[in-house]
Structure 1
């Protein structure tokens, strides 16, 4: 144990008299019913993100009690505190805009309040990366506890899970193949329990990454939200947080270049969300590390896709949990991993993987290395004159027939332009064209929403077209699918070449060459770049102004420049 003050004697409010500060703090703490004896214990803070605007966290009150039980039985004093909570579908313009705000809230409250360790309770897409970013910056012993995925619903004998199935049915509805009555019926069956999306979307991807990083207890990423094991995991997490205090297991000992590479391997093997590339870059950035997209491609070439879950495969997170979870996957990847990385248990990853090595694995969900679902990783980075700073393609969710494709650009200059024209019967578009969305990146007023999943124009959808190449500086939901090039960097709003694309230009996608190119000569591009750009109103106050001033590109995790370590 360190010699510095612990428990409520830590981080004393400054009145110019430390003894008075402690005397006053104990007095106020006793007003909450605590005894002097229990106030001598080390304090475990619990970053609590329950919210009426966050359906994924609906079960957090019960989980909170389990965490407290674990802390108390291990000899600590649990004290929960609220932070911002980010409910994915309840935020405008997009939850990513507020991820950094939540990370700041988490960091400052962990650092300012008297806690010796912290349990981070999160789940919905941006809460987990926000909390991990804040924890890395705060430097206190920290452990992640996720909400866990929803259970699936049922519709006419078919399992349904938000939100891959919601997109599938919505596409059928747009194509005129599903009636108004049925789409309303499906709407009520997609999300039927507490928890995060039931597929390998961003929330589940980030849970798997947190476990692979070593920031979460082994075997806890995939436990369904409503399963009793989720409460047992919460209790064990609370107890582990107490043990981390004596061991001084801070994030800097866990989040290292090697553990980040382990997390990338897992991301590739699960065919996980493209959003995770941004979030992992931001988490690593807080530790002073960077993620090379060239290195991502190297890892992708040697990491097979092994997990058969939607949107890449057929299963759901409840199947992944029952089939062996992240532990089984890590053991399949063992020879590709850095096994000496430290974890929150105080053991290395290699030591952890020695347990349950003979456990049963559902091979319909987690494939053997010798028989992968796909021989290469689910994500790749693209470069080229359209994306000099890189772009991301989720090839495991794309149509292989479009991997080498040249087509005519059909350009939408904004989200408003997209909404106004995508279903216009007069839209000049064919299935061989490439849809391009501009001004939807991190520097735009829309703050990089999940709009990269451009809908197939209705005139094509009604003819049975289900996929076409789409390119943007936006993101897409981890639950989405299609041949979609995302995160084009630099983005349009910061002067990137994506903003120079015009209707009728030729674009070429080559997965083989890892390139996305605009087939326009350099002289013409320079002429277009010299044209005056429309004036954009800049925010004059508040968080919007801070965001506009400090936001970095997708290649740096869309973090704020002033939050990176100096």
Structure 2
């Protein structure tokens, strides 16, 4: 391969790059990777690059591909572990952006405990203005519901196809991809401003070069991933999650990261509840407002958020800069003027509590996850009649057929980690309800998960899942269900005795997949409240 003796005397730095020509969020990573190499070489290291798989949640919608998305997280973490350990690399820089790739990289870093930095590719820019805000990739599903309801024409849909995603990058809203990139920055595993600088900004390439320098500094000073990814760092991530109202999937992925650190699921659930209560929501962006990720970045991004909530943070936590969170904030230099329509001061927040809430009750004894940041205040206490579906597909067909009425609570089950398998997200179901004009008078509960772009009344990650005999499997059409977000409960108006009797008659369904990775995953995946890790 042409390495010289001098090359191999230097620290050998792996670059795990998920670049491909399938995923918009990864399309620019070849170029970003070259900038990282430049920084490594300038700082005295030898860069060795290898590829990773990377699948896109958005592209996987509407077919069996969605089953593979969550299992890919653990596969990617395993792949990085294998390449680093097999070749005994001195350090690793990981390049990714999207929903499962970024958490996989955090998991791998914690598992390997060598000098490590994660660098996103950055979000895409927003599209043509539609329905009062810049469009994004999920606008297509909203527009389909509107088309079915006779609100728009096919010509409008066709125009949106060509204008809603104008550049490469991760989705332009605060979905799971941008949430996890933001939380990596909050944890300290990504350089300041690394999360939200748009993919097509030249600053993204400068971040690549700076990352190359930073990893060499970590090698020189023997700073490893577990020096940074600590319980204090995870607390900072949860604080930022609550403050920005990020994706509910972050609960799943932070719990999986905690598993790598031997932090229990119960400890994590307690932290989510405690820190949600004491962290105001100070950010509103799409899907909770019209502003997109470029707007968020120009308002100050994650550094500005952490500055505003600095009194709540563990400021002594170390970061990949070699400095602490507090030292980074003291040196913060904003490129743009703060925008108080996007990031509020702590004293005047959008909401007094965090944007994510953990619910429990007789439907969800272990946990259910919801996102009050994306739910209208009048929808945060909702009672309705159950309409039960044993798959996402059946629910979506019923919505588009006009079978769902105001006051219904759609129960979508057998979509958890084992039952799905792979815990498909209920992204389209919520978007169809929105397009059909039902988002403000119906609700969805599921043992599956949701996209970070969803809004409306929803509760996901219900644990235990139906496939494991959780109480959600006992629900029947017509059961009254109450979702009470202020009091953090989800309750079926059915007695414990009746639920127990129904579950005695319940039979576990046959596994949908028995071979390949889905066959393995459906056997080994843990509950959602444990992060859906393989056990």
Q: TM-score if structure 1 supplies the norm length?
A: 0.89
Return the alpha-carbon distance in structure 2 between the equivalents of residues 171 and 271 of structure 1.
Answer: 25
Return the alpha-carbon distance in structure 2 between the equivalents of residues 501 and 130 of structure 1.
Answer: 34
Residue 303 of structure 1 corresponds to 279
Residue 493 of structure 1 corresponds to 467
In the alignment, structure 1 residue 366 sits paired with structure 2 residue 343:
yes
Residue 9 of structure 1 corresponds to none
Return the alpha-carbon distance in structure 2 between the equivalents of residues 162 and 477 of structure 1.
Answer: 13
In structure 2, which of residues 66, 82, 91 is the aligned counterpart of residue 93 of structure 1?
66
Helix, strand or coil at the partner of 1:454:
helix
In structure 2, which of residues 183, 189, 192 is the aligned counterpart of residue 215 of structure 1?
189
1:25-104 equivalences under 5 Å are 32-91=1-60, 92-94=65-67, 95-104=69-78
In the alignment, structure 1 residue 415 sits paired with structure 2 residue 392:
yes
In structure 1, which of residues 520, 531, 549 is the aligned counterpart of residue 523 of structure 2?
549
In the alignment, structure 1 residue 196 sits paired with structure 2 residue 170:
yes
* RMSD of aligned Cα (Å): 2.1
1:494-513 equivalences under 5 Å are 494-513=468-487
Task: Please list every run of 5 or more consecutive structure 2 residues that lacks an aligned counterpart in the other structure.
Answer: none
Deviation at 1:409, TM superposition (A): 0.8
Deviation at 1:373, TM superposition (A): 1.7
Residue 8 of structure 1 corresponds to none
Preserved contact between residue 223 and residue 321 of structure 1 (Cα < 8 Å): yes
Structure 2 CA distance for partners of 1:455 and 1:37, relative to 1, 3 Å: closer
Length, aligned pairs only? 527
Deviation at 1:164, TM superposition (A): 4.9
Preserved contact between residue 475 and residue 487 of structure 1 (Cα < 8 Å): yes
Preserved contact between residue 379 and residue 440 of structure 2 (Cα < 8 Å): no
In the alignment, structure 1 residue 317 sits paired with structure 2 residue 293:
yes
Task: Please list every run of 5 or more consecutive structure 1 residues that lacks an aligned counterpart in the other structure.
Answer: 1-31, 562-566
Return the alpha-carbon distance in structure 1 between the equivalents of residues 109 and 436 of structure 2.
Answer: 48
In structure 1, which of residues 258, 262, 276 is the aligned counterpart of residue 232 of structure 2?
258
Deviation at 1:198, TM superposition (A): 0.8
Residue 396 of structure 1 corresponds to 373
Deviation at 1:144, TM superposition (A): 0.6
1:423-434 equivalences under 5 Å are 423-425=400-402, 427=403, 429-434=404-409
Residue 447 of structure 1 corresponds to 422
Bigger Cα displacement from structure 2, 218-227 vs 35-44: 35-44
Preserved contact between residue 452 and residue 471 of structure 1 (Cα < 8 Å): no
1:130-529 equivalences under 5 Å are 130-155=104-129, 160-290=134-264, 291-356=267-332, 360-425=337-402, 427=403, 429-451=404-426, 454-455=429-430, 466-529=440-503
**Larger Cα-atom Rg:** 1
Structure 2 CA distance for partners of 1:401 and 1:157, relative to 1, 3 Å: closer
Preserved contact between residue 448 and residue 475 of structure 1 (Cα < 8 Å): yes
Return the alpha-carbon distance in structure 2 between the equivalents of residues 534 and 337 of structure 1.
Answer: 45
Helix, strand or coil at the partner of 1:198:
coil
Preserved contact between residue 152 and residue 198 of structure 1 (Cα < 8 Å): yes
1:239-291 CA-partner distances (Å, limit 9, x unpaired): 11111112221111111111101000000111100011101111121111235
Return the alpha-carbon distance in structure 2 between the equivalents of residues 416 and 158 of structure 1.
Answer: 29
Bigger Cα displacement from structure 2, 162-171 vs 333-342: 162-171
1:296-348 CA-partner distances (Å, limit 9, x unpaired): 12211221111221111221111121121111110100110011111111111
Preserved contact between residue 453 and residue 470 of structure 1 (Cα < 8 Å): no
1:495-538 CA-partner distances (Å, limit 9, x unpaired): 10001000011111112221101111222222211114264046
Residue 25 of structure 1 corresponds to none
Bigger Cα displacement from structure 2, 50-59 vs 492-501: 50-59
Helix, strand or coil at the partner of 2:58:
helix
Structure 2 CA distance for partners of 1:381 and 1:159, relative to 1, 3 Å: closer
In the alignment, structure 1 residue 120 sits paired with structure 2 residue 69:
no
Return the alpha-carbon distance in structure 1 between the equivalents of residues 201 and 10 of structure 2.
Answer: 31
Helix, strand or coil at the partner of 1:205:
helix
Preserved contact between residue 164 and residue 310 of structure 1 (Cα < 8 Å): no
Return the alpha-carbon distance in structure 1 between the equivalents of residues 54 and 399 of structure 2.
Answer: 33
Deviation at 1:67, TM superposition (A): 0.6
Preserved contact between residue 467 and residue 509 of structure 2 (Cα < 8 Å): no
1:172-229 CA-partner distances (Å, limit 9, x unpaired): 2232211111111112111111100111111111111000001011121110001000
Deviation at 1:424, TM superposition (A): 3.4
Structure 2 CA distance for partners of 1:366 and 1:135, relative to 1, 3 Å: same
Structure 2 CA distance for partners of 1:534 and 1:351, relative to 1, 3 Å: closer
Deviation at 1:420, TM superposition (A): 3.9
Structure 2 CA distance for partners of 1:151 and 1:416, relative to 1, 3 Å: closer
Deviation at 1:490, TM superposition (A): 0.5
Return the alpha-carbon distance in structure 2 between the equivalents of residues 339 and 222 of structure 1.
Answer: 21
Helix, strand or coil at the partner of 1:410:
strand
